[in-house]
Amino acid sequence: MKIRVESFATYRTYTEHLPQDKLMEVPEGAVIRDVLETLGVPMDKPIILIVNGRARPAHTPLKEGDHLVFFPPLEGG
């Protein structure tokens, strides 16, 4: 199945190799953590995960056409 994957800030480098439309083929039954591991994203650092505009945990199953966005927590004031 295909999902759209975007990343921002310091995590942007993990999706630079994806095509311009950011579509990625993932197996049926994949969860967010599977995608992050495939991309080589370290899971020992803080990360915000958004699927279709809503914050989700890493064990969330993905569906065809989902839009996954991930980025580090924002800092500053």
pLDDT digits (tens, 9 = 90+) for 11-64: 999 999 999 999 999 999 999 999 999 999 999 999 999 999 999 999 999 999
Flag whether 77 is in a domain.
no
Flag whether 76 is in a domain.
no
Q: Which two tokens stand for residue 48?
A: 């915000």
pLDDT surpasses 70 at 77? no
Per-residue pLDDT, 75:
73
CATH number at residue 55: 3.10.20.30
pLDDT surpasses 90 at 74? no
Q: What is the domain range of residue 57?
A: 2-71
Flag whether 17 is in a domain.
yes
- What are the helix (H) ranges across the chain? 32-39
45: how many CB neighbours lie within 10 A of its CB?
10
Q: Domain total for the chain?
A: 1
pLDDT digits (tens, 9 = 90+) for 53-67: 999 999 999 999 999
Flag whether 57 is in a domain.
yes
